[in-house]
Amino acid sequence: MYETFYGLKEKPFNILPDPEYLFMSKEHENAYTHMVYAIKEKKGFVVITGEIGSGKTTLINFLLGQIHEEIQIGLINNTFVLPAQFIKMICQEFELEVGEMDKAEMMESFQNFLLQQYAENKRVVLIIDEAQNLSRKTMEEIRMLSNLEAEKQHLIQIIFVGQPELKYKLQQKSLEQFAQRVSVHCHLDVLKMDEVEQYIKHRLKVGGAENLNIFDKEAIEAVSFYSRGIPRIINILCDTALVYGFADELKIINKKVIQEVIKSRAAGGIFHELSVTEEKDNYTALNKDLTGNNCSERIRSMEKRIHNIEDLVVSLDKRLLSLTEKKGERDAVVVELFKMLKESMESRFHTLIEFSDLSKKKLYKQENLNQKYAKTYKFNKLFDKIENK
């Protein structure tokens, strides 16, 4: 639509995880190096976490393109399954015939496959995307896979990629044995201001643009602020801005265009537009909450919410115990769903505790207020969601 007008060969801000457009920020390069190191050194469990839209799947696709033939690789991104189904998915990913096998038979078949690959001096790598959705029981089944080892090395390497909730899940006491198997872990952070500019120009260059300054400096600053440095949101804003610019025959995208995009999407409930006055008010209120007399009151409020969630988790435990005593396939599904719900609540519980501790220690400093405001806004949204439940 706008490609010819801006001298592009293709749309540079597509939200699909295209590895050709991967921008290697310091965080992405660090995560990629960790994954390559883990595969090369035949490590066991690897955990890569990052915010929604931070480019985790794009990084995985890039890694897949660099894998050599002597490495057998499997990729699973459907993690809302029961343990037995998950084992079946693993076998199918490595093209093993499972037919009507039960779980024990599938495990034996997969172990034979691993031993065969080891005898042929080939390595097996399993990548699990959206790993934060794995149930505790499924994660325990995966841990059992890691017990399939040769004399001096692992027969399979497993890379878990997921949202920050995955970190909190691994901190739970019930997954302590699992967490101890994690040899490599790194987190993908959002892009900084200068990286946002580099990111936009990088994608324009890959898209074939001769002019890499289609977005002026103020426009880039606006994109950085409203996107909070999240690549997927940057793509959405920039792609829409190019449509607006094309419609108005603007060769250069300025801050006004970005604000129009935000206003339009805010009207549809996608983005919340903040005026300059609102931004200052929010910063002032935040500073007062964290440094003034309201700090202790805010902490007490958070602690109350933490206790409420703790009570809910205990209640879920009792209901799980009652349901577990029943038999039947339908009951098994219900039990698994309740376990997933309980894990979700425990994840939120740990998130609240972490934020409460940060508040108590007054780690929020004025010079980092802009960045901390974004985190506080995220936690407040989490609180509201929990209260609504």
Average pLDDT over the chain, rounded to an integer: 77
**163 and 44 housed in the same domain:** yes
Q: Highest mean pLDDT range out of 142-156, 162-176, 200-214?
A: 200-214
Range of weakest confidence among 46-50, 130-134, 326-330: 326-330
Looking at residue 215, the DSSP 8-state letter turns out to be B
Give dist(CA 343, CA 335) in Å, integer. Answer: 12
From 215, 249, 273, give the residue that closes a domain. Answer: 273
Residue 130 falls inside a structural domain: yes
Q: Highest mean pLDDT range out of 257-261, 304-308, 369-373?
A: 257-261
pLDDT at 328: 52
pLDDT at 280: 45
Range of weakest confidence among 55-64, 284-293, 341-350: 284-293
**265 and 290 housed in the same domain:** no
From 250, 273, 296, give the residue that closes a domain. Answer: 273
**46 and 148 housed in the same domain:** yes
Closest alpha carbon to 13 in 48, 51, 53, 50: 53
From 172, 188, 204, give the residue that closes a domain. Answer: 188
Sequence-separated (6 or more) residues with CB below 8 Å from residue 23:
55, 195, 198, 199, 202, 203, 231
Residue 35 or 244, more confident: 244
**129 and 31 housed in the same domain:** yes
Structurally, how many domains does the chain consist of?
A: 3
When pLDDT is averaged across residues 41-52 and rounded to a whole number, the result is: 85
Whether 309 and 168 have beta carbons less than 8 Å apart is answered as: no
CATH code at 180?
A: 3.40.50.300
- Cα–Cα distance list, 348 to 175, 338, 353, 359 (Å): 16, 15, 9, 17
In this prediction the pTM is 0.66
**33 and 167 housed in the same domain:** yes
Sequence-separated (6 or more) residues with CB below 8 Å from residue 43:
37, 154, 157, 183, 184
Closest alpha carbon to 87 in 104, 73, 99, 75: 104
What percent of the chain lies above the pLDDT cut of 70? Answer: 66
Sequence-separated (6 or more) residues with CB below 8 Å from residue 152:
none
Residue 15 falls inside a structural domain: no
**83 and 176 housed in the same domain:** yes
Residue 18 falls inside a structural domain: no
Residue 314 falls inside a structural domain: yes
pLDDT at 140: 84
CATH code at 237?
A: 1.10.8
pLDDT at 276: 41
Q: In terms of residue numbers, what domain contains 202?
A: 193-273
